[in-house]
Structure 1
Amino acid sequence: MDFTDYSGYELILSIGFLVLGFFFHAYITKTNAIAASKQSKAILTEAQKEADVIRREAKVQAKDAILRARENSERDLTAQRKDILDLEKRVVEREKTLSSKLDMLNTKEVQLTGRMTEISEHKEKLIGQQQELKKLIAEETSRIEDAAALSKEEARKTIMKRMEDELQAEANGLVRHVQKVAKEDAKKIAREIIATAIQRYAAETVCDLTTSSVSLESDDIKGRIIGKEGRNIKSFESETGVNVLIDETPEVVVLSSYDPIRREVARVALERLVEDGRIHPARIEETVAKVRQEIDETIRHAGETALFGLGLTGVAPELVHTLGKLKFRTSYKQNVLDHSIETAHIMALMATEMGLDAKIAKRIGIFHDIGKAIDHEAEGGHAVLGANLLRKYGEDRIVYNAVGSHHEDMERESVYAVLCDAADALTAARPGARMEATDLYIQRLEKIEEIANQYAGVKSSYAVQAGREIRIMVEPKKFNDHGTSLLAKNIAKQIGNEVKIPGTVRVTVIRETRCVEYAK
Structure 2
Amino acid sequence: MPQLIATTATLLLLLGALLVVHFARREASEIRRSSEDEVQHLRDEARDLLSEAQRREERVSTRENEIAADQRTAQKYARALDERAAVIVRDERRLASDRAARERAHLAALAEVAHLDVDTARKELRERLISEARDDTRADVRRIVRGARKDAESQSRAILVEAMQRQAAATSSETSALWIDLPNEEMKGRIIGREGRNIRAFESLTGVNVIVEEGVNAVQLSSFDVERREIAEVTLRLLVEDGRIHPQRVEQVYSKVVDELPQRHLDAGLDALESAGVRGVSEDMVRTLGRLRLRSSYGQNVLSHLVECGQLAADIARSVGADEEVARRAAFLHDIGKAFTHERAGTHASLGAQYAAEHGESEVVVNAIAAHHDEVPQESVEAVIVQVADALSAGRAGARRDDADGYIERLENLEELVAEHAGVTRVLAMSAGRDVRVMVEPHEVDDEGVAELARTIAEHISKDLSFPGEIKVTVIRELRADAVAG
**2-side partners of 1:203 and 1:147: how far apart?**
76
Report how many residues are paired: 299
**2-side partners of 1:162 and 1:362: how far apart?**
56
The letter for the 1-side match of 2:255 is: A
Query: In structure 2, which of residues 164, 177, 180 is the aligned counterpart of residue 212 of structure 1?
Result: 177
Cα distance per residue 1:165-189 (max 9 Å; x no partner): 2232123112212211221221122
The letter for the 1-side match of 2:223 is: S
**2-side partners of 1:289 and 1:301: how far apart?**
19
**1-side partners of 2:408 and 2:113: how far apart?**
73
Q: For 1:320-339, what aligned pairs fall within 5 Å after superposition?
A: 320-339=286-305
TM-score, normalised to structure 1, is 0.49
Whether contact under 8 Å (1:255, 1:266) holds in the other structure is no
Query: In structure 2, which of residues 149, 159, 162 is the aligned counterpart of residue 196 of structure 1?
Result: 162
Q: Which residue of 1 aligns with 2:341?
A: 375
Q: Which residue of 2 aligns with 1:294?
A: 260
**2-side partners of 1:161 and 1:408: how far apart?**
48
Q: Is 1:424–2:390 an aligned residue pair?
A: yes
Cα distance per residue 1:8-28 (max 9 Å; x no partner): xxxxxxxxxxxxxxxxxxxxx
Query: In structure 2, which of residues 144, 159, 169 is the aligned counterpart of residue 178 of structure 1?
Result: 144
SS of 2:345 mapped into structure 1 = coil
**1-side partners of 2:275 and 2:202: how far apart?**
41
Q: Which residue of 2 aligns with 1:256?
A: 223
Whether contact under 8 Å (1:352, 1:358) holds in the other structure is yes
Unaligned runs of at least 5 residues, structure 2: 1-105, 413-486
User: 1:226: Cα distance to partner?
Assistant: 7.0
Whether contact under 8 Å (1:273, 1:279) holds in the other structure is no
User: 1:162: Cα distance to partner?
Assistant: 2.5
TM-score, normalised to structure 2, is 0.53
Whether contact under 8 Å (1:255, 1:267) holds in the other structure is no
**2-side partners of 1:338 and 1:234: how far apart?**
29
Q: For 1:339-350, what aligned pairs fall within 5 Å after superposition?
A: 339-350=305-316
Whether contact under 8 Å (1:212, 1:267) holds in the other structure is no
The letter for the 2-side match of 1:413 is: E
The letter for the 2-side match of 1:174 is: D
**2-side partners of 1:312 and 1:248: how far apart?**
45
**1-side partners of 2:178 and 2:272: how far apart?**
28
Change in Cα spacing, 1:207 to 1:304, as seen in structure 2 (3 Å) is closer
User: 1:381: Cα distance to partner?
Assistant: 2.2
Unaligned runs of at least 5 residues, structure 1: 1-139, 447-520
The letter for the 2-side match of 1:204 is: A
SS of 1:375 mapped into structure 2 = coil
Cα distance per residue 1:472-517 (max 9 Å; x no partner): xxxxxxxxxxxxxxxxxxxxxxxxxxxxxxxxxxxxxxxxxxxxxx
User: 1:278: Cα distance to partner?
Assistant: 4.8
**2-side partners of 1:213 and 1:349: how far apart?**
35
The letter for the 2-side match of 1:424 is: D
Whether contact under 8 Å (2:310, 2:327) holds in the other structure is yes
Q: Which residue of 1 aligns with 2:130?
A: 164
**2-side partners of 1:160 and 1:313: how far apart?**
64
Whether contact under 8 Å (1:368, 1:383) holds in the other structure is yes
SS of 1:378 mapped into structure 2 = coil
User: 1:437: Cα distance to partner?
Assistant: 0.7
Q: For 1:57-456, what aligned pairs fall within 5 Å after superposition?
A: 144=110, 148-149=114-115, 155=121, 158-199=124-165, 201-213=166-178, 217-218=187-188, 221=191, 227=197, 232=201, 235-236=204-205, 240=206, 242=207, 244=209, 254-258=221-225, 260-270=226-236, 272=238, 278-280=245-247, 285-439=251-405
The letter for the 1-side match of 2:140 is: L
Whether contact under 8 Å (2:179, 2:220) holds in the other structure is yes
Whether contact under 8 Å (2:111, 2:118) holds in the other structure is no
User: 1:350: Cα distance to partner?
Assistant: 1.3
Whether contact under 8 Å (1:326, 1:337) holds in the other structure is yes
Change in Cα spacing, 1:207 to 1:148, as seen in structure 2 (3 Å) is same
Whether contact under 8 Å (2:176, 2:224) holds in the other structure is no
Whether contact under 8 Å (2:322, 2:381) holds in the other structure is no
Work out which of the two has the higher radius of gyration on C-alpha atoms and give 1 or 2.
1
User: 1:440: Cα distance to partner?
Assistant: 5.2
Change in Cα spacing, 1:162 to 1:146, as seen in structure 2 (3 Å) is farther
**2-side partners of 1:231 and 1:371: how far apart?**
36
